[in-house]
Structure 1
Amino acid sequence: MYKEERLPQNAKEGILFLLIISIISVNTIAPIIMGMQLGFSKENYIETLKVIPFMWVIVVLLVKLVAGPIVAKVMPKFVGKTDGFNARVLLNIFLNVTILSMLLTIIGNWVGTKHISLDPFQTFFYNWFRNFGIAFWIELLIAQPIARYAMKKLHANQAKKSSAVNI
């Protein structure tokens, strides 16, 4: 089967891919959402930085335990044999961001306020549409392309080393 050089080829590369995407995403999406919700200020940014490590762990767990398995089951229902790489990546991003943004609109509020309440449910649709839009475009234009570029470079370096050994 053809292996796509822009995607991880084994578990170790999968972890690196996930780390790149999650670190970029959490460090960009969370400050933007917090800024839009509470105002862009130095104080709000510093408060966001305090929450980011917890959010990063939550995001990684949600990707591996919730979004990943759901997307793996749903993708084959929508992807055809003739669909190209870009179509598959776009659908994958859309599905992952949809699931994660729905969950994190609630969980992120609880973590940020350090209080579990029904408040995130009362403003869910207003906040979720905003959060989805922010997360989708950051994933599509920043986090995913950087991670795929890193995989492409990693595989090119591996191929170069492999060909050097075979000479």
Structure 2
Amino acid sequence: MHQEKRLPRNGKEGLLYGSLISTMTVIFMSSFSAIYFAGEFNAEVAWSIVKMIPIMWIIVMVIEPVIFGRIAEALTAKFTQATDSFNSKILFRILFTVLGMSAAMTLIGDIVGNGFHSELFSNWLANWPRNFAIVLIAESLVIQPIARFVMVKLHEAQDRKAGLAPEDVQVLKTEVI
């Protein structure tokens, strides 16, 4: 059976993969936002980042698989064909996930960081396009490739443990195709 080495194969691997992506994205965006709005990095900014990361991580780990991951999968299936390349499907998946998550997390991040206030919607309008562009670039070029690299290494280790040499895995792939 042809199995993709760059993506999770089961729920446990899916949790690891999602956790890696969520953790890197939350750390990156929490740090970026805190430093961007504070204007400088100091102990107070560092402490606000440390306090914000677990809260934002939990929120991301709940809403991505429950809401935006499902929407992204459906939209990716609608805009791609079975014969399309892995890279095209991943790019669509990243685009749709980042579109939804950046919109939601820009609003949620402002609420978590500043509470409900009268400028919530205008802040969202001003900040969301920037957040979307930054996360899209970070996810496409750094975060997702790191998570896929981890999956490849994990699957190679599993294949070695199962006694399959790299040539055997390649033969299995070509036999199924």
TM over 0.5: yes
RMSD: 1.4
Moved more, 136-145 or 99-108: 136-145
Structure 2 residue runs without a partner (length 5+): 165-177
What's the TM-score, normalizing by structure 2?
Answer: 0.86
Number of aligned pairs?
163
CA contact (8 A) 1:29 1:138 kept: no
Partner residue of 1:102?
A: 103
Pair 1:153-2:156 in alignment? no
CA contact (8 A) 1:71 1:96 kept: yes
Partner residue of 1:69?
A: 70
CA contact (8 A) 1:7 1:148 kept: yes
CA contact (8 A) 2:35 2:45 kept: yes
Pair 1:130-2:134 in alignment? no
Partner residue of 1:142?
A: 142
CA distance in 1 between counterparts of 2:34 and 2:148 reads: 27
Partner residue of 1:86?
A: 87
Runs of 4+ in 1 over 6 A off after TM superposition: none
Larger radius of gyration: 2
Q: Residue type of the partner of 1:3?
A: Q
CA distance in 1 between counterparts of 2:123 and 2:151 reads: 39
Partner residue of 1:27?
A: 27
Equivalent pairs: percent with the same residue? 36
What's the TM-score, normalizing by structure 1?
Answer: 0.91
Q: Secondary structure at the match of 2:2?
A: coil
Structure 1 residue runs without a partner (length 5+): none
CA distance in 1 between counterparts of 2:22 and 2:32 reads: 15
CA contact (8 A) 1:105 1:120 kept: no
CA contact (8 A) 1:33 1:134 kept: no
1:109 CA displacement: 0.4
